[in-house]
A and B are shown apart, each in its own frame.
Chain A
Amino acid sequence: MTVGSPAVVIGILLSTVIVAAWLIWVERRMIGIWQDRLGPNRVGPLGLGQVVADMVKIFFKEDWIPPFADKPVFVIAPAIVMVTMLLGFVVVPFAPGVGVIDFNFGLLYFFALSSLAVYSQVLAGYASNNKYSLLGSLRAAAQSISYEVFMGLAAMGVVMLAGSFNLREIVEAQKDGWYVLPQFAGFLAFLVAAVAECHRAPFDLPEAEQEITGGFHTEYSGMKFGMFFVGEYLGITLNSAILVTLFFGGWLGPAFLPPLAWFILKTLVFILFFILLRAALARPRYDQFMSFGWKVMLPLTLANIVVTGAVGLSVP
């Protein structure tokens, strides 16, 4: 297996999409378990067929475009989140020899694409011509700008330690110890930012059903809504994979499991953590959320960079 061979590329594309769809079931089952329920367990063994049933349902639903909507933009918006999130997987180093491209600026590429994904929400809210949708997309834009800032800064500590933006080299540099220990503050900040980046509860303010009736996807139905949904799960998977790569040594692990298995296992733990966050925590108010980002997380990450730089300079 080599990075970028057609079989590997197709395998990664199929498995990411299938995993993202399958996460719908995982999330419902896990939230059920944490709320002392069972979750969907009727369709197929363990309810695994629920995803298929949901897909069939969502394909047969009426795909309605509101007459007051801006049609071309309305149609293209849900595709953007899918495309950007799938493109983000291009740089993920699954294992040695498994990946789409070996890119020198992989980390920057990931940041660029996760910022581009917000266009999906902004355009969806704008094209819907609905005040709740517009509020949702305003929130999405503001949230992405403020949390993208310290997401990048939180990862800079790792980049300083590894001396590279290449995600594969960052993983290789963690041979002697995962960066979660020397970069614990950076890890925490990156985790918070990652949750905010995929608009997941408790930071799902752009959707916030209870306040703004679904936010940017209020007017969406059928498979267009499904694209937002799958895009969200792709985002969770992508952000978990990047978290594992930056702070938990990617594919590195004891030799009794193959590297790919270690990577998948670690990513799964973070996906489950994302779901646990949704099951447990309440959504903060919007102004609290913004001030938390700018007044707590940004200084924290800046201090982290200063300390990392000072230690890096003083200890040769």
Chain B
Amino acid sequence: MISQLRTLWIVLKHTFSRADTVQYPEQRPKLYPRYRGRIVLTRDPDGEERCVACNLCAAVCPVDCIALQKTEDVDGRWYPEFFRINFSRCILCGLCEEACPTYAIQLTPDFELCEYDRRNLVYEKEHLLIQGTGKYPGYSFYRVAGKAIAGKDKGQAENEAPPIDVHSLLP
């Protein structure tokens, strides 16, 4: 009985506490940079696409909403010929971002993905690519990776030793 009265009193005291409601369209919630919203493809500091079309994001995606096709340019850089995310399937789990070896695919603090026509939720590469570097400003995959491309041979990447001629190690 006493506990019931105590409950009544505690609830009554809430008359004077502030509501936690965020009045959404007028009042925006504070979203932090690591909020998992709309997916973008970023570029490296030189303005080239970061995506190397390794397909890891498409493989890890639990709802199979990512589709891409690898191709190669004249410099030997890999890039996706097409890159398609179906946001009507996407569950914004962020596994693609975790899987990405080049920081190319990133989730942004934008959740307002509404369309009148469901087909408009299928984003192609030109819709996904942004101009900037996203959350990792200095990172460029080809500068640190051992893959040879035009203008950067084996052993010329940052923190990379020149390749060893294995034949010289033979006794």
Asked whether any CB of chain A lies closer than 8 Å to the CB of B119, the reply is: no
Chain B contacts for A276, CB-based, 8 A: 8, 11-12
Are A34 and B12 closer than 8 Å at their CB atoms?
A: yes
> Which residues of B have CB within 8 Å of A280?
7-8, 10-12
Any A CB within 8 A of the CB of B168: no
**CB of A191 to closest CB in B, whole Å:** 12
0/1 per residue, A22-46, Cβ < 8 Å to B?
0000000000111111100000000
- Residue in B8, B14, B23 whose CB lies within 8 Å of A36: B14
| Chain A 101-123 near chain B by CB (<8 Å), digits 1 or 0 | 00000000000000000000000
Are B21 and A33 in touch, CB under 8 angstroms?
no
A37 touches B19 (CB 8 A): yes
User: Which residues in window 1-32 of B have CB below 8 A to A?
Assistant: 4, 7-8, 10-12, 14-15, 17-21, 23
In the bound assembly, the distance between CA atoms of A33 and B18 in angstroms comes to 8
Return chain B residues, CB-CB under 8 Å to A36.
14, 17-20
Closest residue on chain A to residue B15 by CB atoms: A33
Give the dominant DSSP class at A's interface: helix
A38 with B19, Cβ < 8 A, contacts A280-B7, A281-B4, A281-B7 known: yes
CA A276 – CA B7 in complex, angstroms?
10
A276-B12, A279-B11 known; A33+B19 contact, CB < 8 A? yes
Q: Closest Cβ of chain B: how far from A40's Cβ, in Å?
A: 11
* B: contact size bracket: 10 to 19
Q: Which residues of A contact B10 (CB under 8 A)?
A: 280
A37 touching B20 by the CB < 8 A rule?
Answer: yes
Q: How distant is the Cα of A34 from the Cα of B12 in the complex, in angstroms? A: 7
- Asked whether A277 is an interface residue with its Cβ less than 8 Å from the other chain, the reply is yes
Docked pose: A43 CA to B139 CA in angstroms: 50
Minimum C-beta distance from A224 to chain B (A): 32
- Count residues of chain A with CB under 8 A from any CB of chain B: 12
Contact across chains for A32 and B19 when beta carbons are under 8 A apart:
yes
* Residues on A with beta carbons closer than 8 Å to the beta carbon of B17: 36
Collect the chain B residues with CB atoms within 8 Å of residue A33's CB. 14-15, 19
CA distance A292 to B108 in the complex (A): 57
Contacts of B8 in A (CB 8 A): 276-277, 280-281
Q: Say yes or no: A37 contacts B21, CB within 8 Å.
A: yes
Q: Which of A141-190 contact B (CB under 8 A)?
A: none
Chain B, Cβ-Cβ closest to A273: B8
Contact partners of A38 in chain B: CB under 8 A: 19, 21, 23
B48 to chain A, nearest CB (A): 48
B7's closest neighbor in chain A, by CB? Answer: A280
Q: Give bound CA distance, A37 to B14, whole Å.
A: 10
Bound-state Cα–Cα, A279 to B7, Å? 10
Output the least CB separation between B54 and chain A (Å).
46
Report the minimal beta-carbon distance from B168 to chain A, rounded to whole angstroms: 74
Please report the C-alpha to C-alpha distance between residue A79 and residue B12 in the assembled complex, in whole angstroms: 35
User: Could you give, for residues 276-316 of chain A, a 1 whenever the CB lies within 8 Å of some chain B CB and a 0 otherwise?
Assistant: 11011100000000000000000000000000000000000
Inter-subunit contact A34/B19 (CB<8 Å): no
The 4 A-B residue pairs whose C-beta atoms are closest, nearest first, are: A280-B11, A38-B21, A34-B14, A280-B7
Q: List 25 A-B contacts (CB under 8 A).
A: A33-B14, A33-B15, A34-B12, A34-B14, A34-B15, A35-B14, A36-B14, A36-B17, A36-B18, A36-B19, A36-B20, A37-B19, A37-B20, A38-B21, A38-B23, A276-B8, A276-B12, A277-B8, A279-B11, A280-B7, A280-B10, A280-B11, A281-B4, A281-B7, A281-B8
* Apart from A33-B14, A38-B23, A281-B8: 12 A-B pairs, beta carbons within 8 A: A32-B19, A33-B19, A34-B15, A36-B14, A36-B17, A36-B19, A38-B19, A276-B11, A277-B8, A280-B8, A280-B10, A281-B7
